[in-house]
């Protein structure tokens, strides 16, 4: 980028200062953002994995077997 004249540099610096929040404003905005981003306790999703029921395991195993079967069939045709 070409070097600016002193007047142009002053204009850019003044604009940057005007659009940059003060440290107090920045802290206030950050705290408000963190409070608003925190989900309500009732809507939090449990990060603890749940165990699958026997029926779910059987269904998952059947779907996996079918997928492997289809993949082998398609690979043998090509």
Domain boundaries, the chain: 6-40+52-77
Pick left, alpha or beta for residue 24 (phi over 0 → left; psi -120 to 50 → alpha; otherwise beta): alpha
End-to-end CA distance of the chain: 57
Q: What is the pLDDT of residues 49-61, one digit of tens each?
A: 778 889 999 999 9
Q: What is the pLDDT of residues 18-48, one digit of tens each?
A: 888 888 988 998 888 888 887 666 656 666 6
pTM of full prediction above 0.85: no
């Amino acid at each position: 980028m070409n070097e600016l004249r002193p007047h142009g540099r002053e204009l850019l610096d003044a604009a940057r200062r005007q659009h940059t929040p003060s440290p107090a404003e920045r802290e206030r905005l950050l705290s408000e953002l963190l409070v608003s981003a925190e989900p309500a306790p009732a809507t939090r999703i449990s990060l603890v994995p749940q165990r699958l029921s026997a029926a779910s395991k059987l269904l998952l195993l059947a779907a996996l077997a079918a997928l492997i079967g289809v993949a082998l069939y398609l690979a043998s045709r090509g």
